């Protein structure tokens, strides 16, 4: 397929973003459908790109700054673009019929989508930074305008953390380009071959870790996350948790593992430790939460820990697991929040002590709770659901490199079941108070986004190749360690070959 199709992936949401504010009429549902249509079309185009891989696009933009519109899709970015397009569509559809200020709301969601997709498609580090920064503005506005009672605090916190993340990323990427003794360039091909002094590598990786670690987030950079997830409007949380946070994971994989393999390998024990700490911290905090949203925020934090562990291990299998975990977690977290959104919309609360008996077939929300149960089971890694293959590969792949960290993560992952059961037991079972239970049942259009995610969670659980097959070759080529000889990894790691591989990463199709 021609490379211009890549532009279409961005043009669709941009066009809708621009069109929404000028459309006549105050019909919220029509605006929502239009926005969803744009993202749906984006999803279809992305899927078309998977069947018929397009060539890379190169348009010089600001040659002085070495900024170029380099776009491309490889085994890393394609699944993420598909995921983002899917989650954007479903997030938009999860908005209520009577969404307040719909034009601005959907425009901002679409703008977020543009930023995330743009970052994933970028083949130029400056372009990546640009897109990465773009996401911050609409996301902050979404929280600030449509958030919960403490939206102002949440928005400011998100903005401050996001700015630090963006600045450190900018610094890291500029340094990456400028300190390259082969000449200043920001294209991925050149960066992959960059030669940097070890101390420069260390500084750059530190900056990148800060930037992406804040985005993911991982402990101790997670301060914004539970607060924001608790206050932001549900479609924004679905997008933030499902797609935006994946920018961090993608960045670590692309920049950290791909461009700074030596330092990454040297620092990986510490990164793995941070992952393990995140996993334990997230799981234990989730157990203690009294609000479903905060519980899920900490749960998400814990799962990011597993992801970071897999990235740190950087064996072919663990990177494969990392990609699978990105996709699986994207679906699961979006589904969890879609269900919470339905619960909140009907009951007006996400407080665990206030809710009980929601599984009641006649007056409760049995359908929503059924999907929530499935999502919680998927998050807990129950076989047959999408969380299981992802976590299994992560653990299996990371075990050879960091057995202790992996073991800690395994135990932390076991706690997932604890808070999942605790949550469901409190909210789903027990007595439904007749005096309070005076809300309408969920309708099919409301259920649809969550239902699609539920089906994906089951289908991808039964057919794990859907989340592993995309990027096998790419991740294998990125691997810094071989699975069989973990002790030799530092000396064996051959940055050159890895770099080679990422520069010309072939697009592997799931078979």
Binders of other proteins among residues 238 to 297 (CB under 8 A) are none
Binders of other proteins among residues 14 to 33 (CB under 8 A) are none
Going by C-alpha positions, the residue among 182, 26, 9, 198 that lies closest to residue 99 is 26
Three-state secondary structure call for residue 124: strand
Per the CB < 8 A criterion, the answer to whether 158 and 140 are in contact is: yes
What minimum distance in Å lies between the beta carbon of 346 and other proteins? 11
Per the CB < 8 A criterion, the answer to whether 244 and 330 are in contact is: no
Choose, by CB under 8 A, the member of 22, 52, 64, 362 that binds other proteins.
362
418 binds other proteins (CB under 8 A): no
Residue 149: burial class (beta carbons within 10 Å; 0-12, 13-18, 19+)? exposed
Choose, by CB under 8 A, the member of 52, 361, 443, 484 that binds other proteins.
361
What minimum distance in Å lies between the beta carbon of 360 and other proteins? 6
Choose, by CB under 8 A, the member of 19, 23, 432, 448 that binds other proteins.
432
Per the CB < 8 A criterion, the answer to whether 339 and 427 are in contact is: no
Which CB atom, from 441 or from 509, has the smaller least distance to other proteins? 441
373 binds other proteins (CB under 8 A): no
What minimum distance in Å lies between the beta carbon of 219 and other proteins? 38
Choose, by CB under 8 A, the member of 100, 195, 425, 434 that binds other proteins.
434
Per the CB < 8 A criterion, the answer to whether 43 and 80 are in contact is: no
Distance of CA 493 to the CA centre of its chain: 28
Per the CB < 8 A criterion, the answer to whether 361 and 435 are in contact is: no
Number of residues interacting with other proteins: please give it, by CB under 8 A. Answer: 13
Residue 486: burial class (beta carbons within 10 Å; 0-12, 13-18, 19+)? middle
Going by C-alpha positions, the residue among 141, 304, 146, 143 that lies closest to residue 215 is 304
Three-class HEC string of 449-501: HHHHHHHHHHHHHHCCHHHHHHHHHHHHHHCCCCCCCHHHHHHHCCHHHHHHH
Binders of other proteins among residues 101 to 130 (CB under 8 A) are none
Kind and range of the H or E run holding 458: helix 444-462
443 binds other proteins (CB under 8 A): no
Query: Phi/psi at 436 (nearest 5 deg)?
Result: -95, -30
Residue 48: burial class (beta carbons within 10 Å; 0-12, 13-18, 19+)? middle
Range in contact with other proteins (rule: CB under 8 A) among 77-85, 261-269, 335-343, 428-436: 428-436
438 binds other proteins (CB under 8 A): yes
422 binds other proteins (CB under 8 A): no
Q: How far apart are CA 456 and CA 466, in angstroms?
A: 10
Choose, by CB under 8 A, the member of 98, 149, 440, 511 that binds other proteins.
440
What minimum distance in Å lies between the beta carbon of 344 and other proteins? 19
What minimum distance in Å lies between the beta carbon of 336 and other proteins? 25
Choose, by CB under 8 A, the member of 357, 387, 469, 495 that binds other proteins.
357
425 binds other proteins (CB under 8 A): no
What minimum distance in Å lies between the beta carbon of 428 and other proteins? 11
Which CB atom, from 153 or from 366, has the smaller least distance to other proteins? 366
436 binds other proteins (CB under 8 A): no
What is the number of other CB atoms lying within 10 angstroms of the CB of residue 170?
Answer: 17
Which CB atom, from 366 or from 464, has the smaller least distance to other proteins? 366
Scanning 77-197, the segments in alpha helix (DSSP H) are 77-93, 102-121, 125-146, 151-178, 188-192
What minimum distance in Å lies between the beta carbon of 359 and other proteins? 8
Choose, by CB under 8 A, the member of 51, 64, 431, 443 that binds other proteins.
431
Range in contact with other proteins (rule: CB under 8 A) among 117-125, 250-258, 431-439, 481-489: 431-439
What minimum distance in Å lies between the beta carbon of 441 and other proteins? 6
Q: How far apart are CA 305 and CA 502, in angstroms?
A: 24
476 binds other proteins (CB under 8 A): no
List contacts with other proteins (CB under 8 A): 357, 360-363, 430-432, 434-435, 438, 440-441
């Amino acid at each position: 397929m021609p490379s211009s199709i890549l532009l279409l992936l961005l043009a669709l949401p941009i066009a809708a973003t621009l069109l929404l504010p000028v459309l006549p009429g105050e019909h919220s549902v029509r605006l929502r459908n239009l926005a969803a249509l744009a993202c749906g079309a984006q999803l279809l185009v992305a899927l078309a790109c998977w069947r018929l891989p397009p060539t890379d696009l190169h348009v010089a933009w600001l040659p002085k700054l070495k900024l170029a519109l380099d776009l491309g899709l490889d085994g890393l970015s394609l699944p993420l673009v598909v995921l983002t397009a899917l989650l954007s569509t479903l997030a938009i559809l999860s908005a209520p019929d009577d969404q307040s200020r719909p034009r601005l709301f959907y425009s901002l969601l679409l703008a977020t989508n543009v930023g995330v997709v743009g970052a994933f498609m970028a083949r130029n580090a400056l372009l990546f930074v640009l897109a990465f920064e773009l996401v911050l503005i609409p996301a902050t506005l979404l929280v600030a305008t449509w958030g919960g009672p403490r939206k102002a605090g949440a928005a400011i916190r998100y903005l401050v953390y996001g700015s630090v993340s963006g600045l450190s990323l900018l610094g890291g990427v500029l340094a990456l380009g400028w300190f390259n003794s082969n000449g200043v360039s920001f294209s991925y091909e050149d960066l992959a071959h960059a030669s940097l002094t070890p101390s420069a590598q260390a500084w750059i990786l530190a900056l990148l870790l800060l930037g992406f670690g804040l985005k993911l987030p991982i402990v101790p950079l997670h301060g914004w996350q539970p607060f924001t997830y608790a206050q932001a409007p549900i479609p924004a949380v679905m997008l933030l948790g499902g797609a935006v946070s994946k920018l961090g994971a993608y960045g670590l994989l692309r920049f950290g593992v791909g461009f700074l393999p030596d330092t990454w390998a040297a620092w990986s024990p510490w990164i793995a430790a941070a992952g393990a700490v995140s996993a334990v911290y997230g799981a234990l905090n989730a157990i203690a939460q009294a609000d479903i949203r905060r519980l899920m925020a900490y749960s998400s934090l814990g799962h990011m820990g597993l992801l970071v562990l897999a990235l740190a291990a950087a064996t072919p299998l663990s990177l494969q697991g990392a990609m699978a975990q990105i996709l699986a977690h994207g679906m699961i977290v979006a589904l969890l929040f879609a269900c919470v959104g339905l619960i909140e919309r009907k009951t007006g609360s996400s407080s665990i002590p206030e809710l009980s008996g929601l599984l009641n077939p006649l007056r409760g929300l049995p359908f929503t709770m059924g999907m929530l149960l499935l999502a919680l089971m998927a998050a807990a890694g129950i076989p047959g659901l999408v969380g299981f293959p992802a976590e299994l590969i992560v653990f299996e792949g990371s075990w050879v490199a960091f057995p202790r960290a992996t073991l800690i993560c395994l135990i932390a992952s076991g706690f997932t079941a604890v808070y999942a059961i605790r949550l469901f037991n409190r909210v789903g079972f027990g007595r439904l108070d007749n005096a309070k239970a005076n809300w309408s049942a969920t309708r099919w259009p409301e259920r649809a986004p969550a239902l699609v995610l539920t089906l994906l969670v089951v289908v991808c659980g039964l057919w794990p190749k859907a989340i592993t097959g995309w990027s096998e070759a790419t991740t294998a080529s990125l691997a810094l360690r071989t699975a069989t000889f973990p002790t030799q990894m530092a000396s064996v790691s051959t940055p050159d070959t890895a770099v080679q591989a990422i520069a010309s990463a072939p697009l592997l199709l799931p078979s």
